[in-house]
Structure 1
Amino acid sequence: MAEAGEIVVSIAELDRYVISCMMVSGATEDSAVFMSDLLVTADYRGHYSHGLNRIDVYTSEVHHGVACGGGKDPTVVKETLATALVDGNNLLGPVVGKFAMDVAIQKAKTAGVGIVTVRGSNHYGIAGWYSLRATKQGLLGISMTNSSPVTYPTRSKIRSLGTNPISLSAPGKDGDNFALDMATSSVAWGKVELKQRKGEMLPSGWATDKDGHETRDPSSVTGLLPLGGLEQNGGYKGYGLAMMVEVLTSVLSGADMCSFVRKWKTYEKYANLGHCFLAIDPGAFAEGFTDRMQNLMDHNRNLEPVEGEEEVLVAGDPERKHMALCDKLGGIPYHPNQIEFLDGIAKSLGVEPLKHVIPAS
């Protein structure tokens, strides 16, 4: 069941809303459809931080002319049988990312592996949208991106790295899959925004204030802690993972890196973000991959849970639970403050606000 007071909106209505907002802002219909697929999928999977919560960023990028709303394609700058460098031509991140992952998929089908790096792109949403694209075709998918500087590396109070997410998905049997999708910071920036929108305090270990001190007040947050939190709790490992993503996305592709990336929600220059996509054909390696992958997932799922927990989960299980809930409800549940935010965006753009909302019971 959805939480009391939440409002359920049909997926068809959410698609209509996103496509309208993007096209009014200057995006082509094709680009708007890709954007809707990504944002609605994020909310459907329960990743509200990267779903319609981000609509203001994408519409503003197109409106201010710092992201191209469509009308052209990304360009393959150079390639080998298994690799490619793609210039996103400053198109919207999901348009660029879909193009690049599809190139990686085709190369994997030919060479067993495809590795594609990208420059000249923009914020691309949930990393899992791309890795799962490969897994739907029986491949392992890996997706990662650098982002605007919002995290503090260990021992520094200067914002240097982004949330720099990474996703790995792998096929199991009968449609099951492993689907890891995580930031290399403790949380994604959007989760802080959602806490503030709902009027809630932050858990400890999430964020820091302007002086680099940990804070639970979402209004005072200026940076996020690396995965692991403070140094004594292993934050240096998250710092290292974020740097690893930076190497594979911006350094390898020639995109802007670290503090040189355009600051979040500013529109004075192009972002020039970098991505990296990998597709791997398991058939190029040991036989029986899906059987072993299924055994790995089921072994962990069948472990005895600790007291107070009902079951052990693997990456992708929480998302499947949320999707099943949405299917049962006939739409995606939202906090009333989220709906208020989306209605405000619609009003500012002159777009019809969300309709046919169903109060969750």
Structure 2
Amino acid sequence: MITGERKIIGIFGKVNSGKSTFINNLTKSNASIVSSEEGTTTDPVKVYYEIKNLGKTVIYDTAGFGDKSKLGKVREERSFEILDKCDLCIYVIDLTLNKGKESIDPIDEGFLERVESLQKKVIYIARVNKDFKKDFYLPSLIYRGEEDNYKVFEIIKKLLNSDSKKHLLGDLVKEGDRVVLVIPIDDQSPKDRIILPQQMVIRSLLDKKALISICGPKEILELKSSLDKIDLIITDSQAFKEVYKIAKDEIKITSFSILFAAFKGDLDYFIESFYKIKDSKNIVIYEGCFHHPGEDDIARVKIPNLIRKKFGDKNFSFTRNRNDLKGNDLAIICGSCTKTSSEVLDLINFAKENGVYMTNFGITIAGLTDILEKVALP
């Protein structure tokens, strides 16, 4: 798994089914409050956890279903939001809560049907000394405590390691290729470090055994003249136009954001959606992380100005909340370096369900500077 692509695991179940006890035992922590009182977990609790031979994960303990308090429905909706972005669900079933019935009750049944409709990978954890199989014939695991943790982790690794092995660079780079990274350092750059997409690309290039050179936009011409060859230039989207003037059609060029569009999202759909900007009146710009925007912010200033210059005035709004996508004609999202593939695909599906086209920063800037058809796509 590439650094930064953290798998999301959600733990679900009815109130008092033992979810919090399970996550505490599994992670050997006291992340969640354990009590005999119903509804102890009110908001999702997350634990960052490294699983050997799998990598970084975030494990969520969610509010239980069947909460009859005034805020029960709100808490359940928060749990469903976690479900939507999960790579794997763990459903904790305590059959003793079903008053001796051999089958699961409607609350369990409703959730499991929703899991099936979303085609989520799922593990069922039975907290009584009997095996349990749902009508879908998906196996569960008898869980007695920490002594069974290794069984849980083995199933988690088996399910999540079976995911397709997409590579961030696709087929753009092979061993021995000379790759130049163009990284602007300006007022928008974080202090004393490079941003996560750039870190991830460097690691991926090292995995490919490529030869890496790094410079700013103003140094690209000098660097080009000092190298025998350049096989690929990967640039920050903001420097697309000036880098292309130097690369022309002689050198393949792409951007960090376009690589992430293909790696985590739906590149073809993003390109299709870009061509809807012209006829879109209401455009929402979505950013996945929190940061302090500068005076020349790419999301709030540069992209809106480029769109106005090419297509005239539009109604722009800015958000980090997916519900704010509703009612707009088109959404433009960031490179989503802090999001997982599941989260980005969930966001795309949410936009589609609400009649909103979606593209991303890199595709948008390449298109607005008239070089989209000339960039290398992974």
| Fold similarity call, TM over 0.5 | no
State the structure with more CA Rg.
Answer: 2
The normalised TM-score by structure 2 is: 0.23
Relative to its length, the structure with more helix (as a share) is: 1
The normalised TM-score by structure 1 is: 0.24
Using CA pairs under 8 Å that are at least 6 residues apart, name the structure with larger relative contact order, 1 or 2.
1
